Structure 1
Amino acid sequence: MSVATGERVLASAPLIGGEGVVAGTREALYVADRRLPWEQVEAASWDQDSSVLTVSEVGAGAVHRLAVDSPVRLLQLVRERVTASVVLQRAVPLPLGSARVVARRAGGGNRDVTWFVEYDALADPDDPAVVALVRAALASARDDLGDA
């Protein structure tokens, strides 16, 4: 596995039964032959009984399930880097359910903010009332960050 120029691996976990590793740098997580910038990683968990590392991408992104050996340091890095990428989170109460407006920033001195809206299972993102509430919450959050 090779990482992008200027990056260095801070933690990794070997894949079980095959060649390769899952690795993390200051800027990204390398999983399944993909480079995922930290602001694109929603969460990671490890099932000790099955030795499966599950990495989910933000929003409706992919979910990667990989058999790995002892990813303790890697999970610590994921937790730290994902948390560090969150600039703002704001709950949005909806007529049914709720949503969250989330602003995330890439590492490495990048000042660009990426915005996401996450809906719970009860929310209907196509409902015009929901669209209006989320649009207003997103505008307010962007204004609060000076990210017009």
Structure 2
Amino acid sequence: MKLFNRTPAEVREAVVPPDRALTYAAGPDGYVIATDRALYLGGARLPWFQVDRAMWDEEGLTVVTTDGRSHRALLPEPGRVPEAVRERVTASIVVNQYAPLDARGGVLLVARKTDEDQLVWEFVFDPGLDPTDPGLRALAEQALEETRRSFGV
């Protein structure tokens, strides 16, 4: 047992095992905690593979997840949280490959590693392309298979 643990009790209690806290910062709405597996933000646990992007400004952090949801935390003193967020999101990306589909544009194929070391693939179509178009979906699936073969995943 450690005699001196400087991590606040609220941080220790918020982190769900087997997650391990890497760094944290206090804001007016509570703590933002970066762990080895997820970002704890505003009462939500956001696994790194579900974080699409994070944006920082002078007031704090905005995180957009792969399902398009936005999460915001005010962090006047972010400490090492920005570096941890960048490192963990980047580490979750296994493949990031653009594939042209037709004369109208293409798709970005992104594979992210989950907590269970599985790969989750995401299609990010160019602006103006309809992701529900069956023809484009078929082309994107074909591009995905080619990308899987070329990367061996």
2:86 to 79, 84, 108: 79
Are 2:63 and 1:55 aligned?
A: yes
Are 2:26 and 1:8 aligned?
A: no
When residues 76 and 134 of structure 1 are mapped into structure 2, their CA distance, relative to the original with a 3 A threshold, is: same
Q: CA deviation at 1:145?
A: 4.8
Asked whether the equivalents of residues 45 and 75 of structure 1 are also in contact (C-alpha less than 8 Å), the reply is no
Q: CA deviation at 1:32?
A: 2.0
Q: CA deviation at 1:15?
A: 1.9
Q: CA deviation at 1:106?
A: 2.6
User: Quick one: which amino acid aligns to residue 133 of structure 2?
Assistant: D
CA RMSD of aligned residues (A): 1.9
Residues in 1 aligned to 2:143 and 2:77: alpha-carbon distance in whole angstroms = 41
Any residues of structure 2 matched to 1:128-143 within 5 Å, and which? 128-143=134-149
How many aligned residue pairs are there?
140
**TM-score normalized with structure 2 length:** 0.81
Could you list the runs of 5+ residues in structure 1 that have no partner in the other structure?
Answer: none
More relative contact order in 1 or in 2 (CA 8 Å, sep 6+)? 1
Q: Which residue matches 1:98?
A: 106
1:121 to 121, 127, 131: 127
Q: Which residue matches 1:22?
A: 32
Residues in 2 aligned to 1:4 and 1:144: alpha-carbon distance in whole angstroms = 37
Could you list the runs of 5+ residues in structure 2 that have no partner in the other structure?
Answer: 1-9
Residues in 2 aligned to 1:98 and 1:71: alpha-carbon distance in whole angstroms = 37
1:44 to 44, 54, 57: 54
Residues in 2 aligned to 1:93 and 1:71: alpha-carbon distance in whole angstroms = 39
Q: Percent identity?
A: 39
**TM-score normalized with structure 1 length:** 0.83
More deviation, 98-107/137-146: 137-146
